[in-house]
Structure 1
């Protein structure tokens, strides 16, 4: 017998019940009320009352599911519920080293428009980055034929140390100063709520909702771009740490007093694996003149250049050590390697994976599966939009619960 959840009349319980119902509807795509009751273990009467409120405020809507003709003859099909896509328009923004990518979604999560705006500089002042973000958003909205004022929420992904709860950036390679209340600065440019997080967390969000992490409750995403990041999903939730600075894989230390990292410390994994680190090593070895981008350095290695080969060999070994440490600490079922730099295979070659497996604590069970998913910045932005959809949904539920007090 299914035990019924007995929700109290407190605002917190009302809010929790509504959030539980709307999350169940979003996860299912479309679902009948009786099935919501079964999934949430909330009584049918309570589900009916909650869904009526959500329909009244326009967050969900009823639909008649398509049914085969032979089933239609047996009686009227059950009415299902789904998220109302037109309820809100959401923006997701990914700030990378050379471009700002914007994705606009409806409240259901369907794509409306995508846009990319090149950046003239990688690291800039707070005010300039806010201006650039809003310029990119305005261009995306113009592409879609509507105004920025119609956006209900904006998710922003930044590389660096970010406290998502406070929209606070301790450090980012995109900013020329540290300890910035970036959410407050950006809020001066737009009337809608803003939600900021580390970009690797948002890649994990995107993988969980749209990518190779679908239907996987616990996994790790490691991103390889200008730097190296990590997102951790535990029990279907992003793990951020107490200060919002958890999962900084690129800044784990692999060598005492080692190479200088862009974060200002020495010996970080990123200082041996990030593209800037590889090019720095190549050009120092070459007397300061030589390779302009990673593709050129890869071509040199493929042509047999011993210096280039040794740089990639060391990067692969350092990365294998880092991967082994992740496995030894978290023991994930799945590791997803994601990012544009994965068009080059020096970090996920068979040799790297074998070396990782050699350094993993040996038990009589298979090692975690390692998958490669190379996707562009627009999909990273979609993860930011998905985060904003969740937060806008939570705000709407909170407002609804407050109005009932």
Structure 2
């Protein structure tokens, strides 16, 4: 009789159990079956049965830990750990000037990385898809394997998107709007692609590897070509109903103000983003042309009044944006990320003092504001972590369907 593929309540429970056990094993370097039972509340018999399935599927492996000094004599408990060779996962971060790629094993251990420069920051969908494939191929070559060996790709891009549908409403990397981008890039690649806003993936990286590991509620704000925000609430990323939540860069700070790259006026990033600062500097500076933020910053350091006034206004606008974040979310921590943070006008005592002036005053400390400049490869690692979660969930569903 043909199988319907529909899960029964008992098989759904088994699928949930597989996912729980994999999550517990992933959280530990190694763990014995009895400790998994205690951590999950499952019976030892259930844990034994499910781990046998995971062992047969090649997702986990047994290790025999050495008997610890001072421990009682006898056979040490056999522990379990994830099998790194079970899957290869890629993570990519598409920025305005470079595609950063990292490839990890099933444990999350980095195997290869690469940064491929882009000739232009905005391009048609087919061209960007081809560039992404090329970046993956180059990274795979460095690691000594093929793009066909990948089990999943996490992809982070700036813009407004619905991650669940793989749909991009608008991105500064694309010439077109309203693009089913996951479908387009999946036609170029031999494995599933998991798309999300790049700031969300920075938040995921912070939660898994960085300053958010000990926080249930925190916010990451990214400052580069534009301004992005990733929100973690109760350890989960908040995306909004349409997938367009957390767009701090497109909150309005000036009625009928400066033109933003999204097409509207008065957005925060139209005063803080790279392109906005360079646009104003090159309009206001006369004969001197600035092609990089470093050049503009150096002019301000050298006493250029125009350059200094541009950066001062950017700092005030950014302080206003931070104050709005505190007033709306009241997070325990705000993490500032991005290459621009090497220029301290966006992170200084003056910025924090200006933010403090606009925050609703209560007799309690302000959230901690800190800088954590990961670099583009760590953004890519967040994308890989996202893909790793999704590939794990898919693998568990495949096991459930096979057993149904």
Q: Within 5 Å, which residues of 2 pair with 1:346-357?
A: 346-357=345-356
Whole-Å Cα distance in 2 between the matches of residues 363 and 63 of structure 1? 53
The alpha-carbon deviation at position 60 of structure 1 amounts to 1.2
User: Which residue in 2 is equivalent to 1:34?
Assistant: 34
The alpha-carbon deviation at position 211 of structure 1 amounts to 1.1
SS of 2:344's equivalent in the other structure is coil
- Which contiguous aligned blocks of 4+ residues in structure 1 show a shift greater than 6 angstroms? none
User: Which residue in 1 is equivalent to 2:306?
Assistant: 307
Deviations 1:216-263 (A, max 9, x none): 221100001111100111111111111111111111111111111111
Q: Which runs of 5+ in 2 are unaligned?
A: 1-7
Deviations 1:49-88 (A, max 9, x none): 22111111111112223443332x5322222211110000
The alpha-carbon deviation at position 38 of structure 1 amounts to 2.1
User: Which residue in 2 is equivalent to 1:5?
Assistant: none
Q: Which runs of 5+ in 1 are unaligned?
A: 1-7
SS of 2:22's equivalent in the other structure is helix
SS of 1:127's equivalent in the other structure is helix
Deviations 1:300-344 (A, max 9, x none): 111111111111111111111111111111111011000111111
User: Which residue in 1 is equivalent to 2:5?
Assistant: none
SS of 1:70's equivalent in the other structure is coil
The alpha-carbon deviation at position 34 of structure 1 amounts to 2.0
User: Which residue in 1 is equivalent to 2:322?
Assistant: 323
Whether the 8 Å CA contact 2:147–2:190 is kept in 1: the answer is no
User: Which residue in 2 is equivalent to 1:44?
Assistant: 44
Whole-Å Cα distance in 2 between the matches of residues 11 and 230 of structure 1? 38
Tell whether 2:60 aligns with 1:60. yes
User: Which residue in 1 is equivalent to 2:218?
Assistant: 219
The alpha-carbon deviation at position 162 of structure 1 amounts to 1.5
Whole-Å Cα distance in 1 between the matches of residues 191 and 323 of structure 2? 42
Deviations 1:337-374 (A, max 9, x none): 00111111111111001111221112221111111011
User: Which residue in 2 is equivalent to 1:251?
Assistant: 250
Tell whether 2:171 aligns with 1:206. no
The total of aligned residue pairs comes to 397
Whole-Å Cα distance in 2 between the matches of residues 272 and 288 of structure 1? 22
SS of 2:221's equivalent in the other structure is strand
- Give me the TM-score of the superposition, normalised by structure 1: 0.95
- Give me the TM-score of the superposition, normalised by structure 2: 0.96
Whole-Å Cα distance in 2 between the matches of residues 146 and 328 of structure 1? 49
Tell whether 2:334 aligns with 1:335. yes
Whether the 8 Å CA contact 2:158–2:198 is kept in 1: the answer is yes
